């Protein structure tokens, strides 16, 4: 989808303090060989705040930075990948009440669950919503997760090469801003849906600990034989989503200055993301991601904020945000900075 006249007006994150990974290695929670391959320095760990509370903090900061009053928000989308703190409850409505309140009475509040591609998927939905009606001025996208025990082991619940951090991010999409949204698009391959389900029976209620490694092994032994090479399919999804987004934006991969991928470990970043696209890791936001871990769907927004605030991407610079979510979905967004953001502290 080519986006005309849409901008990122405010961008913010709310991250808890980082925890050095050395402690997790020392007490046996994180494998030393994984640490050597991943080269994470730290992960952000929340001790008191629930995900929706972190989303509210990020959203308020993004609105302040955008200079957008709550009454101008036409849509609020909240993305998440994991438990938000209360069962049978819409987290988006909480964020809406806390951030927009009565001023947002005509702004729908909806949860998006595209897993770790959720924030960029929500950005695509928000762009479509604004493009459909010129009277809709702005949209707010938030995302937040806390990957805590006992239900989720941030060090070992998923595959080797992926350690999870906690936190939130928010972006205001509007008709003017510091970065132009050039294009956004999604590719899906639901033949791979079973990778994160395995052979687990459907339960009557939540509560089982997440064990993606066992699920993926079951998938490989069963349905995985039918769908063929998982590596080939995931690479195909990644490259197709990147190519579609660049084509919609009228760009080539060489026109992109920085790439923001999920905050996977360095070995996985190189072999599964950078190398298939012919990229050097130096063109990514790895120096940021190795300090936070994989913060669910927030990685792309936090990485772009880091690039914009640190000067890693200046006016005229272009970034490609790449989100991958179990299910499987790949959503990419191409943005171009039009100005160095001058946000209030």
- pLDDT score at 345: 57
| 307 and 321 co-located in one domain | yes
| 223 and 257 co-located in one domain | yes
Q: Kindly report the pTM of this predicted structure.
A: 0.96
Note whether residue 344 is domain-resident: no
C-alpha to C-alpha distances, 291 to 16, 51, 159, 177, 278, nearest whole angstrom? 12, 19, 19, 28, 24
- pLDDT score at 229: 83
| 161 and 236 co-located in one domain | no
Task: Show which of 178, 195, 210 is a domain's final residue.
Answer: 178
| 149 and 190 co-located in one domain | no
Rounded to whole angstroms, how far apart are CA atoms 314 and 258? 11
| 148 and 234 co-located in one domain | no
Q: What is the DSSP string of 117-159?
A: GHHHHHHHHHHHHHHT-TT--EEEEEEEE---TTT--TTTSS-
| 40 and 131 co-located in one domain | yes
Report the number of distinct structural domains present in the chain: 2
Task: Show which of 132, 156, 178 is a domain's final residue.
Answer: 178
- pLDDT score at 182: 98
Which residues span the domain enclosing 319? 183-337
Note whether residue 96 is domain-resident: yes
Rounded to whole angstroms, how far apart are CA atoms 19 and 24? 9
- pLDDT score at 225: 67
Task: Show which of 154, 178, 202 is a domain's final residue.
Answer: 178
- pLDDT score at 206: 83
| 187 and 157 co-located in one domain | no
Rounded to whole angstroms, how far apart are CA atoms 136 and 260? 28
Note whether residue 345 is domain-resident: no
Q: Tens place of pLDDT for every residue, the chain, 345 residues?
A: 899 999 999 999 999 999 999 999 999 999 999 999 999 999 999 999 999 999 999 999 999 999 999 999 999 999 999 999 999 999 999 999 999 999 999 999 999 999 999 999 999 999 999 999 999 999 999 999 999 888 999 999 988 999 999 999 999 999 999 999 999 999 999 999 999 899 999 998 888 899 999 998 998 888 666 767 888 899 999 999 999 999 999 999 999 999 999 999 999 999 999 999 999 999 999 999 999 999 999 999 999 999 999 999 999 999 999 999 999 999 999 999 999 998 765
Note whether residue 343 is domain-resident: no
| 300 and 173 co-located in one domain | no
| 22 and 132 co-located in one domain | yes
Rounded to whole angstroms, how far apart are CA atoms 70 and 107? 10
| 205 and 136 co-located in one domain | no
| 165 and 199 co-located in one domain | no
| 174 and 188 co-located in one domain | no
- pLDDT score at 65: 96
Question: What's the token pair of residue 228?
Answer: 């063929």
Note whether residue 1 is domain-resident: no
Note whether residue 249 is domain-resident: yes
Q: Any idea what the CATH number is for the domain that residue 97 is in?
A: 3.40.47.10
- pLDDT score at 344: 65
């Amino acid at each position: 989808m080519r986006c005309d006249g849409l901008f990122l007006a405010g961008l913010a994150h709310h991250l808890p303090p980082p925890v050095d990974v050395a402690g997790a290695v020392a007490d046996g929670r994180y494998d030393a060989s994984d640490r050597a391959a991943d080269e994470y320095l730290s992960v952000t760990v929340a001790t008191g705040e629930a995900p929706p509370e972190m989303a509210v903090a990020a959203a308020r900061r993004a609105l302040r930075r955008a200079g957008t009053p709550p009454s101008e928000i036409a849509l609020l989308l909240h993305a998440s990948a994991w438990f938000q703190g209360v069962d049978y409850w819409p987290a988006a409505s909480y964020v809406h009440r806390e951030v927009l309140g009565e001023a947002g009475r005509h702004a729908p509040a909806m949860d998006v669950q595209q897993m770790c591609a959720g924030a960029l998927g929500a950005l695509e939905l928000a762009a479509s919503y604004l493009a459909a009606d010129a009277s809709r001025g702005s949209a707010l996208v938030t995302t937040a997760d806390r990957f805590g025990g006992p239900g989720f082991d941030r060090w070992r619940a998923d595959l080797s090469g992926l350690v999870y951090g906690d936190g939130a991010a928010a972006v205001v999409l509007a008709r003017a801003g510091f970065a132009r949204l050039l294009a956004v698009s999604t590719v899906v391959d639901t033949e791979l849906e079973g990778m994160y389900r395995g052979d687990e029976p459907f339960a009557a209620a939540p509560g089982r600990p997440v064990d993606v490694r066992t699920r993926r092994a079951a998938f490989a032994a069963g349905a995985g034989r039918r769908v063929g090479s998982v590596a080939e399919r995931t690479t195909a999804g990644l490259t197709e989503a990147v190519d579609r987004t660049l084509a919609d934006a009228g760009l080539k991969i060489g026109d992109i200055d920085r790439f923001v991928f999920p905050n996977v470990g360095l070995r996985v970043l190189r072999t599964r993301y950078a190398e298939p696209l012919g990229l050097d890791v130096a063109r990514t936001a790895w120096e940021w991601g190795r300090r936070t871990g994989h913060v669910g769907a927030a990685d792309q927004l936090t990485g772009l904020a880091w690039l914009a605030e640190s000067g890693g991407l200046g006016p005229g610079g272009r970034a490609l945000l790449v989100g991958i979510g179990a299910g499987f979905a790949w959503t990419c967004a191409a943005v171009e900075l039009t100005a160095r953001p001058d946000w209030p502290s």
